[in-house]
Amino acid sequence: MQWRFLVSKKYKLPIDSLVEQNMVDKISSVFKQYADKSVAKAIYAINSYLPNRNLLDLYITLNYAFKINKTEGNKEINTYLEFAEFAQKIISFYKSNPMNTDIQIHDLGEIQIPFADNLYPIIVGSRHNHSFIFHYFIDEIAVSNSIGDDVKELLEFNTELINNLKMGFDGRIDEYNNKIIIPSEKHFEQIYKTYDYFNERFSKLKVKQYFFAEDHPNKLHFIDKNNQSFLLFNTSLVIDYVGHEISKLADEQLIKVVNRTIQRYLINQFELSGEQSHVLNNAFIMDNPKEKPITECIATILLNERVIILLNEWVVQSQESLDNLHNQIMELHKQDKLHIMAYYKKGYKVYPIKKEIDIDFITINNHINITEQAVFFGEYGKPLRIIALDFLYFILRVNSFSQIMIFLDQYKNTEQQLFSSDGLSGLFESTLNTEGTLEMGAVTFSSVLIDLYTPEKTVLELFKNEFNQIPVIANDYLFDNPFHWKINDYKNGFVYAKRKGSDLLGIIRKHENKGYIFICRNKQHFNEAMINHEEINHIQTLDNLLSFMFDYFWEILKKVGFLDKEVQIFVIPEEASYEYQIKESEFKGKYLKGDFEFDSEHYTLRITINQSILFESIYMSKNREVECDFFREIFRVVDNSFFDIKKLEDEIISTNQLPKITDVGYIRIPYYKNMKNLSYWSDKSNFISVRKRIAQICQKVGIEPGEYRLEDAKLVIRKLQDTLISDFKSMIREYYYLDLHVMLLSLLAAIQFDILTAKDKIFTDDSMIEKEIADGYREQNIKFREDKKSELRYLLYLIEMNLKYGNRNNVITTKRHDVRDLLAYADWFVVLQDNADSFHWKMDTSSIEVSYDYLVNTNFTDDTMEKYKSLSERIYNSGSFVSEKVPNLLENVNLMDAFMKDFGFSFDAFIKVLGILSDNGNEKDLYEIYPDVIRFDIDRLVDIVMGEISELNTKEKALAVLNKLTVNDEYLSYIFKEDIIKDMNVIPIWEREYRPNRFDLKPLTSAGDSYIFSPIICYQTLMLWGNSFVGLYPVHEYNIPNILTEIDRLKKITQDDMVQAIYNLFQQKGYKSVFKELKLHKRGKHPEDLGDYDILVYDKTKNIIWNIESKVIQHVGSISEFAKQQNTFFSKGKYDEKFQRRIDYLAENSLAILTDLKITNTEDLPVISNLMVTNKVFISEFKEVDFSIISFGELKKLI
């Protein structure tokens, strides 16, 4: 089989076949009534109107009718009404041919292309495929044909035409229009007042003779008639002219044009730093470095364990010669004799290509003339054959060359029939966001047809929505081409930008006058030791501070003239190697030193910040003064003569007393931590790969496409489960289990650190920070922490799967999945399991959708998403009620006694062992086998425990605690319930109460005569136990009867104390009539079976009764627990109904009750506020209730 790609020109058929003569004759009869100039203006206005761009045959028909009309009338069109009358006549005769109508791109010069150190707007909606990338070859074509001045003149004229259309643009597009739309009056007026100017301007162009030549392929667009020249609308002026010039090029010239253009952009995109790839332009393939080369390449790209050889297919004269060359090179490679030689300014270098390295060939076809139609075929299994237009498009669009290879690997051996009028570019663009595949699910398509103009549509969206956020400036060495940058959102008017093929990155904000401020760093300045949590946090803090300050003072910066230039601020770290350091600073202040250079366009500042002094000073400050002083120092680096620094400094100083901006604090780390260990997670490619596997399993087990809810959805997941687990196990077993465990444990430590530091930031006192900023920090940290908590949960599941089912034979496959694939699988499996639990408990909050290609999706309603977002915010904002009558943890004698009875050793000894495992002592760094992972000899650890904890003074006692902290791999799948121990044959992630053998509770892994553990995870185990006792929520409930009995007693104390706390709260707020545990039947003739009113408050001034029910609710740790709690509270306990009965009685008898309580009141019925107040945030999931449920913390804010 073969794949086929079409390079399609503007007119796919001969022009004569695109017109209907009968319709032309009718329209021509209208033209005969009008003067030629009026007709020319009118049809220019109609054809150039954006909503009419889809109508190819309209262009042709109007222009052709004008050309063949030999009779000139005397009617003039001078007003919009006259024009509309003319257009209406055309409409009455015009009937669009669907074959000549397509959905065009409706652009108006948003896209810019480089030429001769300048940038020019173009229109890509010209009906030419590859119309965007074509323009990138014009530079070399102009050089080759010596037509640079002509092209520049035409581009400038085209720019004026586009700007004129913009001035008449009325905002209407009508992308899917297939009928004539009468242009707006605004468009008409703009065309009519400028037509004569452009007509005359065009007649003076040097290239005009080309457009009026008899052999001009598109002569319809430019008509010479009755001794007058008439310019008609044409979106492809430049393409038509350059296409004609390409046809004049000799083969050798065209080869140079293609080779030089590709070489230039390979270097610009990928080779600025040399880190990501190594591009060898004009490289030679050799057998022996001392002999004559076999052939010359366009370029050779050296990647990790891979070499890409680019050949121009015109260098060899036939397919047979190309095949022979390919075979010769592959034979040299097999014999370990292949060499590649590249020339440099200082000589040449020869690179031996070892036979272990993979080699790929890409042959480039020189077709770049999009005014000529061509069809290209490729054979499966053969070296890839790509037209130059496509390959250059790939280069511009990707972030790394590996993205191109992922795509080409997918398709060079595909058996699909692929068809694209946009060549490979259309196919590539369609798969760029899906990691090189069109088949996301389990269905294999026999043929694929790609939408027209996919590359041009994509590029237009980039220029409109992404590239417009950064400067695009001709002849600027940084920003002359937006495709050089990878852009992400930031804040305060800035975006984050990273230069492709370079180590340059930073935040940038564009100024209205095309200037910019770019605060940047170069990764080359940072040695490996500097890339750690602390440095990354410092960079983020500084970027946040600087972006805020520049945004805050943006207007004054404009007024004083600082933004008249393009400002580049290079931040160089203090620890940078000597070659990058600032040697002789032009300014040295308290917080930074720096030097300064300038030219006619730029200010370039290099600054080094004394971060320790700056952050310490900000931390100690009570207002914005330190941040303002630091900001002022930046401008002192610049020569004062360039702008009014005094006015700027006065403005900055005036804000000194405002609240701080920067969230600077110090986080105590009471555990060993490798600060170089940074967290990561699966990326898009991993999830795509895993979802495809799940889709294939879905198809295999016979699940039909459709949407499933509740019981049906649960059955779908259960049907998938066994095969999914089996597949997941097979991926895990590609690794030796201890090797994988160490990697995963290291990642677990990094993520746990992220969670702990985010928590510290969330609950740090930020009262000195401006409220809006502090709220933003808090919201950002909460989202970050919740995301990381989800990752932690998925990772714990993967760790337990590996320990239970991993490969213990130490025989690993040479080809194995990336760890990120395993993380993505764990992520998806836990999400599916959560949904299964929801469906089991009849929680109709989501559905399972199986698409036509068997992709499995979990869909949540908008209401559900909003509810859980609100719930999360409430939890963080209100906290939990903790009774002051419950003793502090280690002082709680009864609880400590219960622990001793249940475990056989004290809680104090237990946490001291965890302290030994987690702290910085015992030279842990010497035993670190992977970041944050320690391997420690068991006997030595026992000796340390015996030596430091007097209670554990024998080996047996020390081992008793250590064994309690060591996970039993075999029992990870077991549930322990009373006398029943059951193997669930899966990791029962839904279970807490009866699953004591979990890795988060037992963080030690036994490995021969050693323990493997992570200090921070041992610290977290310590915190889990401590928090569980404080929150009266045990980490598990198996075989700990004494602890459970004591916790139940403490819950009752907490319940009573919370009622008292609510009573005290109202009294402290000044309420006079506050009643606690009110028994109405003892105050008057009221039913005895009503039960107590926990708190009843009367606000006489507002005539409001507060009726409050107090409930202590246990924390929950899973969907299953949550559902059980809901069932216990609302169905079994019916606490809502009991409260509702008291609510109803109060509503019916409020005046009588107030009288019985000796409260004088008017005859007006009081307003009653019924609240159930809980110790933590709690909701009713299954049942509608007629009262509000709020936490104690929320009540405090409410009153």
Residue 144 confidence (pLDDT): 94
- Can you tell me the mean pLDDT for 382-391? 86
Out of 511-520, 693-702, 1082-1091, least confident range? 511-520
pLDDT tier, 268 (very low <50, low <70, confident <90, very high otherwise): confident
Long-range pairs for 1086-1092: beta carbons < 8 A, 24 or more residues apart: 1086/1145, 1086/1149, 1086/1153, 1086/1156, 1087/1145, 1090/1141, 1090/1142, 1090/1145, 1091/1138, 1091/1142
Residue 1038 confidence (pLDDT): 95
Residue 143 confidence (pLDDT): 94
pLDDT digits (tens, 9 = 90+) for 858-888: 988 888 888 888 888 898 888 899 999 998 8
pLDDT tier, 217 (very low <50, low <70, confident <90, very high otherwise): very low
pLDDT digits (tens, 9 = 90+) for 926-954: 999 999 999 999 999 999 999 999 999 99
Beta bridge partners of 341: 284, 350
Residue 857 confidence (pLDDT): 92
Residue percentage of the chain with pLDDT more than 70: 92
Residue 273 confidence (pLDDT): 47
Residue 1149 confidence (pLDDT): 93
Out of 312-321, 752-761, 891-900, 1064-1073, least confident range? 312-321
Q: Judge contact between 313 and 364, C-beta under 8 A.
A: yes
**Distances, alpha carbon 662 to alpha carbons 472, 533, 548, 617, 762, in Å:** 31, 18, 9, 11, 14
pLDDT for residue 844 is more than 90: no
Residue 3 confidence (pLDDT): 47
pLDDT for residue 796 is more than 60: yes
- Can you tell me the mean pLDDT for 92-120? 85
Out of 258-272, 374-388, 586-600, least confident range? 374-388
pLDDT digits (tens, 9 = 90+) for 1017-1051: 999 999 999 999 999 999 999 999 999 999 999 99
- Can you tell me the mean pLDDT for 601-609? 91
pLDDT for residue 15 is more than 60: no
Beta bridge partners of 555: none
Residue 229 identity (one-letter amino acid) = S
pLDDT tier, 415 (very low <50, low <70, confident <90, very high otherwise): low
Residue 861 confidence (pLDDT): 82
pLDDT digits (tens, 9 = 90+) for 491-516: 999 999 999 888 899 999 998 767 89
pLDDT digits (tens, 9 = 90+) for 329-377: 999 999 999 999 887 777 788 889 998 888 988 899 999 999 887 776 6
Residue 765 confidence (pLDDT): 62
Strands 974-977 and 980-983: antiparallel
- How confident is the prediction for the chain on average, in pLDDT? 89
pLDDT digits (tens, 9 = 90+) for 660-678: 998 777 778 899 999 889 9
Select from 822, 528, 534, 499 the least CA-distant residue to 686.
822
Instruction: Using only the alpha carbons of the chain, give its radius of gyration.
Output: 37
Q: Judge contact between 720 and 728, C-beta under 8 A.
A: no
Higher-pLDDT residue of 313 and 821 is: 821
Q: Judge contact between 823 and 682, C-beta under 8 A.
A: yes
Out of 25-39, 498-512, 757-771, least confident range? 757-771
Residue 1136 confidence (pLDDT): 95
pLDDT tier, 762 (very low <50, low <70, confident <90, very high otherwise): low
Higher-pLDDT residue of 440 and 1134 is: 1134
Phi, psi dihedral angles at 223 (to 5 degrees) = -115, 130
Higher-pLDDT residue of 381 and 297 is: 297
Collapsing DSSP to helix, strand or coil, 886 comes out as coil
Separation CA 1101–CA 87 (nearest Å): 74
DSSP state, 1129?
I
For 99, the token pair is: 């074959």
Strands 846-850 and 495-499: unpaired
Q: Judge contact between 112 and 203, C-beta under 8 A.
A: no
Dihedral angle computed from the Cα positions of residues 955, 961, 962 and 963, in that order, rounded to the nearest 10 degrees: 100
Higher-pLDDT residue of 773 and 1130 is: 1130
- Can you tell me the mean pLDDT for 464-479? 89
Residue 581 confidence (pLDDT): 82
- Can you tell me the mean pLDDT for 59-79? 91
pLDDT for residue 131 is more than 60: yes
pLDDT tier, 226 (very low <50, low <70, confident <90, very high otherwise): confident
Q: Considering the entire predicted model, what is its pTM?
A: 0.87
pLDDT for residue 789 is more than 90: yes
**Distances, alpha carbon 332 to alpha carbons 288, 328, 338, 862, 1132, in Å:** 10, 6, 5, 61, 80
Residue 528 confidence (pLDDT): 66
Select from 627, 628, 649 the least CA-distant residue to 640.
649
- Can you tell me the mean pLDDT for 321-327? 86
pLDDT for residue 13 is more than 60: no
pLDDT for residue 800 is more than 60: yes
Residue 322 confidence (pLDDT): 82
Separation CA 605–CA 235 (nearest Å): 44
- Can you tell me the mean pLDDT for 119-135? 92
Out of 454-463, 662-671, 701-710, 962-971, least confident range? 662-671
For 150, the token pair is: 């002509």
pLDDT for residue 220 is more than 90: no
Strands 299-303 and 228-231: unpaired
Out of 1-5, 9-13, 926-930, least confident range? 1-5
Residue 275 confidence (pLDDT): 45
Residue 815 confidence (pLDDT): 65
Out of 232-236, 247-251, 447-451, least confident range? 447-451
Select from 653, 610, 594 the least CA-distant residue to 628.
653
pLDDT for residue 546 is more than 90: yes
